[in-house]
Amino acid sequence: MAMLRAEQVSFSYQGKHETVHAVKDFNYDFKPGSFYAIVGKSGSGKTTLLSLLAGLELPTQGQVAFQGDTTTQMDCDLFRRDHAAVIYQNFNLFPQLTAQENVMYPLRLQKVDRQEAAQRAQEALAQVGLSPTQWCRYPSHLSGGEQQRVAIARTLAIRCEIILADEPTGNLDEENTKSITDLLLRLAHEQDRCVIVVTHDRSIAARADAVLELRDGRLLQQEQAHEE
């Protein structure tokens, strides 16, 4: 069964003088346990599509549905808080919070008590390969790869089913790109999460279960890559 279903989704940015049709008639069923790569040239609509899947934008036409509820009907803040985490190229951590506090933050919003939140945060940080000495560091005292691990740990701790990432390795070197990709693949294949990654990196796309290529807002072709 689809975890996230896009049905005839179109989206236009309405400017003063022009309308940009950024996503056109996009149909796709995203399933749990799979790693999807969204590729395409700059301006092809990848970030817009990810925003539609995350409920950050609402379709101009068509619908995006999570377990039968459309983003137009649901509370999208709650959807992102509990079910669909978004990871960005620039990590988006709170600079004034330590790694562990960053991971605990959304749990506290979910009203998880402090002790349990701390425990879940530590488990998640350990899972992404960060050591206890790194848990209490501020983001500015962590490398880019480590900061991205913290951002991924945050999605683990809230146990969301869907991870949406926009160029998550865009600021990382080759080695960190590989280990973050390994981690995201494991989350899909071993923990049955639905992982959707926008990427320019062909080495990431080559490892995906499915590659969705956008051209000028349209889904062009769907290559089936090898199964991990």
Closest CA to 150 of 120, 125, 178: 125
Q: Does 47 bind ligand ATP (CB under 6 A)?
A: yes
91, 147 Cβ separation under 8 angstroms: yes
- Min dist CB 107 to Mg ion, Å, is 29
**Minimum distance, C-beta of residue 48 to ligand ATP, in the bound complex (Å):** 3
Opening angle at CA 16, ends 10 and 19, nearest 5:
25
For the chain, helix, strand, coil in percent to 5 are 35, 30, 35
Size of the site for ligand ATP (CB under 6 A): 12
Q: How far is the CB of 207 from ligand ATP (least distance, A)?
A: 20
Q: Which amino acid, residue 129?
A: G
Interface segment toward Mg ion; rule CB under 5 A; list 39-47, 57-65, 149-157, 180-188: 39-47
Closer Cβ to ligand ATP, 41 or 141, answer by number: 41
User: Is 47 a residue that touches Mg ion (CB under 5 A)?
Assistant: yes
Place of tokens 């068509």: 62
Query: Which residue in the block uniquely carries the two structure tokens 């975890």?
Result: 3
The pair of three-digit structure tokens given for residue 144, joined into one six-digit string = 């880019």
Q: Binds 20, which of ligand ATP, Mg ion, none (CB < 5 to 8 A, cut-off by type)? A: ligand ATP
The residue written with tokens 């500015």 in the block is: 140
Site for ligand ATP in 6-45 (CB under 6 A): 13, 15, 20, 22, 40, 42-45
46 binds ligand ATP per the rule CB under 6 A = yes
Given a contact cutoff of 8 angstroms between Cβ atoms, the answer to whether 177 and 100 are in contact is no
At position 184, the amino acid (one-letter code) is L
- As measured in angstroms, the least distance from the Cβ of 105 to Mg ion is 25
Nearer to ligand ATP, 127 or 171 (CB): 171
Q: Kindly list the residues in this chain that would bind Mg ion in the complex (CB under 5 A).
A: 47
Q: Kindly list the residues in this chain that would bind ligand ATP in the complex (CB under 6 A).
A: 13, 15, 20, 22, 40, 42-48
